[in-house]
Amino acid sequence: MEKRVLGKTRLEVSVVGFGGIPLQRVDRDTARELIHRASDLGMNFIDTARGYTVSEELIGHALKGCREKWIIATKSTARTYASMKSDVEISLRNLQTDYIDLYQFHLVKTHEQFDEIMGEDGAYRALQEAQKEGKIGHIGFTTHDLGMLEKAIDSGYFSTVQFPYNIIENQGEKLFEKAKAAHIGVIAMKPLAGGAIEEGSLALRYILENPHVTTVIPGMDHIKQVEENGAVGNERLKITDVEREKIQKIARELGENFCRRCGYCGPCPQGVDIPTQFILEGYYLRYELQDWARERYVALAKNAKDCVQCGICEPKCPYHLPIRKMLERVKENLS
C-alpha cells in the first residue's frame, strides 16, 4: 500500500488507516480478524480513543504478537495534567503495549480548552513527560473547529492534526496545505461524513487526491469494508470526469442539510453547542452507536431540547442551513 510521511514524526503510514470507533460493535475475535486482514492489505496505522468504550482493549488484544507492524494512535479528552497522566497509563494497559506512537488531544473545541491544556497544570505537560519516559512518541491534536485547527497548526506544539474531511466537508483544505508546509501530518477523519456518503471508494479517492493529506481513517467493522478500503490504498485510480460529476452531485444533494461543523452559528444564547448536536445525531443514525450517542447527548450541559427557536444562529450559517428544524430533529432522535 502507498505510504506517506506523517509530518515531523517521520513515520511512514499507509494512506488508508484503520478507524477504530466502530470496533465497539464487534467482539474480540472479529476485531482481531479485521485488524489482521487490514495488515495483510498493507494498512499500518490505527486510530482509537479513550472515549471509544472498548475499542482500545479490542485493539490491544488484536495486536498481540504483531505490535511491531502497527503505528498506534489514540487520544484523550483529558485537559489537566493529572487526568492526562492517568489516561496515558490506561491506554498503555488497554492496548497491551509499553509505547504508543501518537497520543492526541481529543476534540478540542474552544480557546479556553486550548489554554487549559497548555497551562502549567495542563495536559500537554503530562504528554511531554510521557515522551521523555518513552511511553509515547508524538503529540497530536484533533478538533472539528476550523479556528482551533488553525490555532493548533500555528502554535507549533503538535506533530499531527486530525480534522473532518470529505466530499461535503472541505473547509479545512487551505489549512491542510499550511500544515504540510509546517511539516505537520494531516489525518483525515469522517471520510464518509459519518456514513452519509455511500460511495466509499470514491470518497476515499477524493480525499487521497489531496497531496496535503497524509492518511485517511475510515471506520471499519466488517471484512467487506476492510477489503474495499484496502483496495483504494493499493490500487488507487485517477478520478474520472464522470466521477467528478458524481462528486459534485453528492455535494449538492447532501450539502443542503449537512452541518460542516464550522462553528459560525455560535455562540448560542442558550449555551447549546450546535455542531455537537449534529455530530452525535450522526453517530446515532449512521454508525449504529445509539446508546453511546444518547449517553453523550444526555450528558451535555445544554442540548437540542434547550433550543428556544430564537433563530439567531441561522443568518450566521454560511451554508444557509435550517438549523432550528435540524435541532428539532435531533431532539426527536436523541431525547
Note the helical H segments in the chain: 28-40, 55-62, 81-95, 111-118, 123-132, 146-155, 173-181, 200-208, 223-235, 241-255, 274-286, 290-299, 323-334
pTM score? 0.87
- Mean pLDDT, residues 159-163: 98
Residue 297: predicted pLDDT: 96
Distance CA 207, CA 169 (A): 11
Q: Is the pLDDT of residue 287 over 80?
A: no
CATH architecture of 3-244: Alpha-Beta Barrel (3.20)
Lookup: cell for 212? 496535503
Cα-based angle 247, 251, 254 (whole degrees, multiple of 5): 130
The mean pLDDT value of the chain amounts to 95
Q: Is the pLDDT of residue 256 over 80?
A: no
Return phi, psi of residue 283, to 5°.
Answer: -65, -40
pLDDT category, 306, cuts 50, 70, 90?
Answer: very high
pLDDT category, 108, cuts 50, 70, 90?
Answer: very high
The number of residues making up the chain comes to 335
- Mean pLDDT, residues 249-266: 85
Domain boundaries, the chain: 3-244, 274-334
- Mean pLDDT, residues 235-250: 92
Reported as a single tens digit per residue, the pLDDT across 163-195 is 999 999 999 999 999 999 999 999 999 999 888
- Mean pLDDT, residues 189-206: 92
Distance CA 153, CA 211 (A): 17
Top pLDDT among 37 and 258 is at: 37
